[in-house]
């Protein structure tokens, strides 16, 4: 799932103006220091955290070569999987007994080792930036009309049946790698275009909602006569890197093709389905640095959150100072802002590792 490049960029500019220029990145050791949060009951339900943890563990088990984070920053190569399994097990046991240990500050303090995450840019209090992302609920059509003029496109037909690796090996011949976003907007796949009809439309949106789909990476589309919204997620892009210096997202040459989904899902290596995301317990960030599936604690302005690093995006490459909190499906920007305004723009953050087998943690 691709994150909101525009939102990330605007917050980055504001942060730079507010906090000053970035300092030289600290070493790996300096990025993770001893420390623990002041434990309070987390804001989100333990059942939601456990569900994301369990599905993220599924991805790790299906792709065991995924990196566990910066070398030397964390001690155990199995710490991520062990921690996710611990969270899922505790929640399952508590569902049977009526307890809720993952909401108990004493249990959290006793059963998780913690290190403080220090960002790789200078910021007061060593806080990280916290942006927020969402899935917009919008109206769409199965065919174009006067208002719904922009299609989400599936992969071109010359890529049918190819894995991501196989497609990459043939990139010199595939349509997906040939065209920029501007080429697509100009009609390369439409009637009369050089590749007319080669990338079938999935659904038709207004120009504004099409832009939101590209920015957020996932969109929920209500089609007249259908009882449930359709979910679409970015699938593969045209191989052009995201350009941070390009502030107008319409001028980004990178273009994303979409696919239908059964849930809002995070990142996973193809062909493994990504973890199903739930609001307030899943974040996107730098997977190479922190490790896919890492459990984190954020002391946001409105309280403590335990979150799983289950997603990423182009803006997070080499970015060890930011997380993007998934906040759910919202019908408008106003509804999104109203529901999430208390989160705050920065937060201290900690990396959590379960003390599996410790007294009181069985």
Percentage of residues in the chain having pLDDT higher than 70: 90
Indicate the average pLDDT of the chain.
89
In three-state secondary structure terms, 160 is: coil
Q: What would the DSSP string read from start to end of 78-105?
A: THHHHHHHHHHHHHHHHHHHT--GGG-H
**Two tokens at 317?**
């490459």
**Two tokens at 268?**
């996973």
Domain boundaries, the chain: 5-134+273-354, 135-261
Pick the CATH number of 135-261 from 2.40.240.50, 3.30.750.24, 2.60.40.420, 2.40.30.10: 2.40.240.50
Q: What is the 3-state secondary structure (H, E, C) of 9-31?
A: HHHHHHHHHHHCCCCCCCCHHHH
Residue 3 pLDDT exceeds 70: no
**Whole-number Å distance between alpha carbons of 54 and 8:** 28
| Type and span of the H or E element at 50 | helix 46-62
Fold of 5-134+273-354: Barwin-like endoglucanases (2.40.40)
Residue 142 pLDDT exceeds 70: yes
pLDDT tens figures, 275-333:
999 999 999 999 988 999 999 999 999 999 999 999 998 778 888 899 999 999 999 88
In this prediction, residue 336 has a pLDDT band, given cuts at 50, 70 and 90, of very high
Residue 70 pLDDT exceeds 70: no
């Amino acid at each position: 799932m691709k994150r909101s490049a525009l939102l990330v960029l605007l917050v980055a500019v504001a942060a730079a103006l507010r906090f000053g220029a970035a300092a030289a990145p600290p070493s790996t050791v300096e990025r993770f220091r001893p420390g623990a949060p002041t434990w309070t009951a987390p804001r989100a339900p333990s059942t939601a955290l456990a569900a994301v943890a369990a599905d993220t563990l599924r991805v790790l088990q299906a792709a065991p070569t995924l990196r566990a984070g910066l070398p030397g920053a964390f001690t155990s190569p199995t710490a991520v999987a062990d921690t996710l399994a611990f969270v899922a097990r505790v929640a399952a046991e508590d569902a049977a007994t009526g307890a809720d240990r993952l909401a108990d500050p004493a249990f959290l303090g006793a059963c998780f080792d913690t290190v403080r995450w220090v960002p790789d840019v200078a910021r007061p209090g060593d806080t990280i930036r916290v942006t927020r992302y969402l899935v917009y609920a919008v109206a769409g059509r199965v065919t174009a009309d006067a208002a719904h003029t922009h299609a989400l496109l599936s992969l071109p037909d010359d890529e049918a049946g190819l894995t991501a690796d196989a497609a990459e090996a043939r990139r010199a011949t595939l349509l997906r790698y040939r065209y920029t976003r501007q080429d697509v907007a100009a009609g390369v796949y439409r009637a009369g275009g050089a590749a007319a009809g080669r990338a079938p439309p999935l659904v038709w949106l207004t120009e504004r909602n099409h832009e939101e789909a590209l920015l957020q990476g996932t969109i929920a589309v209500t089609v007249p006569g259908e009882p449930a919204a359709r979910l679409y997620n970015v699938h593969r892009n045209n191989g052009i890197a995201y350009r941070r210096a390009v502030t107008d997202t319409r001028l980004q040459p990178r273009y994303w093709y979409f696919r239908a989904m059964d849930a809002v899902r995070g990142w996973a290596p193809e062909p493994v389905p990504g973890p199903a995301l739930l609001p307030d317990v899943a974040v996107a960030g730098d997977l190479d640095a922190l490790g896919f599936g890492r459990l984190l604690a954020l002391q946001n302005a409105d309280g403590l959150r335990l979150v799983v690093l289950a997603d990423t995006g182009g803006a997070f490459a080499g970015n060890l100072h930011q997380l993007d909190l998934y906040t759910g499906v919202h019908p408008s920007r106003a509804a999104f802002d109203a529901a999430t305004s208390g989160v705050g723009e920065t937060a201290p953050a900690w990396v959590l590792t379960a003390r599996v087998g410790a007294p009181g943690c069985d």
